[in-house]
Chains A and B, each alone.
Chain A
Amino acid sequence: MHGYFGGYALVGLLGLVGVGFVAVGLGANRLLRPWRVTPEKLLTYESGVDPVGEDWSQSHVRYYVYAFLYVVFAVDAVFLFPWATVFALAGFGAISLGEMFVFLGFLAVGLVYAWKKGVLTWV
């Protein structure tokens, strides 16, 4: 349980423990619970009236632009992490700081552009 892969082996074992916990819980639940189905009980709940129409229908996904923004920014943000651990070490210093401002500048310009375009106002 030491070394790089050893650490993740422990994570994997914890996953097994977690799955085991859920399985034992639901298994016990299966033994303890009653089972009396009626057609009414299996209806989709819609505040007391019978469901009308389908739930899988066309609708406007209003936040798709946010999804684009998120993808752009999140991909950038991931690269911050490896950089964050080394940027202040000897030999990096001022240059890496300048690079950081370039990076932040790109993000800020993107955000301001999206804002000016009216993307950040809910339609």
Chain B
Amino acid sequence: MIALEVVAKLLGCLLVFLTVPLLVGQMEHKAMAHMQSRLGPMYAGGFHGWAQLVADGVKFAQKESVVPARADRRVFELAPAVALLPYLFVLITIPVGPGQTARDLSVGVFFALAVVSVGVIGVLMAGWSSANKYSLLGGMRAGAQLMAYELPLVLAAASAAMAAGTLSLDGIVHAWRWWWLPYQGIAAVVFFVAALAELRRPPFDMPVADSEIVFGPFTEYTGLRFALFLLAEYGGIVVFSALTAVLFLGGWKGPFFEAQLGWLWLLLKTMALSFVVIWLRVTYPRLRADQLQKLAWVGLVPLALAQIALTGVVRVTTS
């Protein structure tokens, strides 16, 4: 019985990890196309190109895997897995209903933040082992970006943990009330912007800037390994959107049937935030390296510290 439950949870995590990022990818194809007055994929699968990403997957699985002669082969081949798997681990702590978590770790927030920042090591490995100047530059940029934005991310999450008085993600959703929207609003914005930067999504896509350094750390990758990096990007969007929803938007809380439909409310919030991620990609131009660092250190870090002070004062004076 327990074994069955464990298998169901593990397969559930894997299934979500392999399907929801595809939904976000398809949404990106379509939303971007319509924002740019074009159609996007229309043929694969017949109806509005719904099977485009499946077709892409089949294509990637049959493509030759080229490892450059100068590359550090072992590290080069391992990097996609290191970049991808951290996002899978986070799914285990995300609550999809009251008390419905694959595993509600008591240090949930801490675990999630610690695990997602491992992903950048995969990107650094890719950049360093490719023996390509573009890749090396991109990898270094990714590292610099992570260092700038990890701090506001951690401080904003700490504010939510302070407001709830627990580190468990399910506990935070339980403690969440609608007035957290203004009360934790600064932290929510800081967290979401820092998450965009950690994901290297536009306007923070300097590490993969296609017009400057081809595709940054992923320049030398082909076939399935390249596809794994793409899956890591979309898995990352899902994971960070879900974390933002859980920490700041009430996760599984909804207008009715929270116990039965909690997963639906969480999915709706996650998809809405993923849409914002795509929307920002189409809207804003890329930030330069110095602008990027300045936004983090002069903008987001002081804002996050101010939010922590506010949360502290409110919590101590009202309890």
> Could you tell me the dominant secondary structure of chain B's interface residues?
helix
CA distance A121 to B294 in the complex (A): 8
Interface residues on B, range: 35 or more
Instruction: State which of B62, B68, B224, B309 has its C-beta within 8 Å of the C-beta of A42.
Output: B68
Known A55-B136, A70-B147: A77·B84 in contact at CB below 8 Å: no
- Distance between Cα atoms of A96 and B144 in the complex (Å): 34
A49 at the interface (CB under 8 A from B): no
Residue numbers in A under 8 Å from B130 (CB-CB): 44
Count: A-B pairs, CB below 8 Å? 199
* Contact A22 B63, CB 8 Å, known A70-B151, A111-B297: no
Residues on A with C-beta less than 8 A from B228 are: 22, 25
Q: Contacts A77-B151, A93-B316; is A29 near B224 (CB within 8 Å)? A: yes
The smallest C-beta distance from A39 to any residue of chain B, in angstroms, reads 8
Among B49-79, those with CB < 8 Å from A are: 61-71
Q: Which residue of A lies closest to B168 (CB)?
A: A85
Chain A: CB-nearest residue to B113: A81
Q: Contact residue range for chain A?
A: 35 or more
**Interface 1/0s, chain B 233-277, versus A by CB < 8 A?**
000000000000000000000000000000000000000000000
Interfacial chain A residues near B80, Cβ < 8 Å = 22
Q: A87–B155 contact, CB under 8 A?
A: no
Q: Which of B132, B151, B294, B312 has the most CB of A within 10 A?
A: B312
Q: Looking at the assembled complex, report how far the CB atom of B233 sits from the nearest CB atom of chain A, in whole angstroms.
A: 16
Q: Assess whether A63 is in contact with B147, with CB atoms less than 8 Å apart.
A: yes
Report if A87-B301 is in contact (Cβ < 8 Å); known contacts: A14-B92, A104-B309: no
**Cβ contacts A67-81/B at 8 Å (1 or 0 each):** 101100110011011
A33:B89 contact, CB within 8 angstroms = no
A-contact bits for B1-24, CB 8 A (1 contact / 0 none):
010011001110110001000000
- Residue ranges of A at the interface with B (Cβ–Cβ < 8 Å): 1, 4, 7-8, 10-11, 13-15, 17-19, 21-22, 25-26, 28-30, 32-37, 39, 41-47, 51, 55-56, 61-63, 66-67, 69-70, 73-74, 77-78, 80-81, 84-89, 92-94, 96-97, 100-101, 104, 107-108, 111, 114-115, 120-122
The 4 closest A-B pairs by CB, nearest first: A122-B290, A42-B69, A84-B162, A70-B147
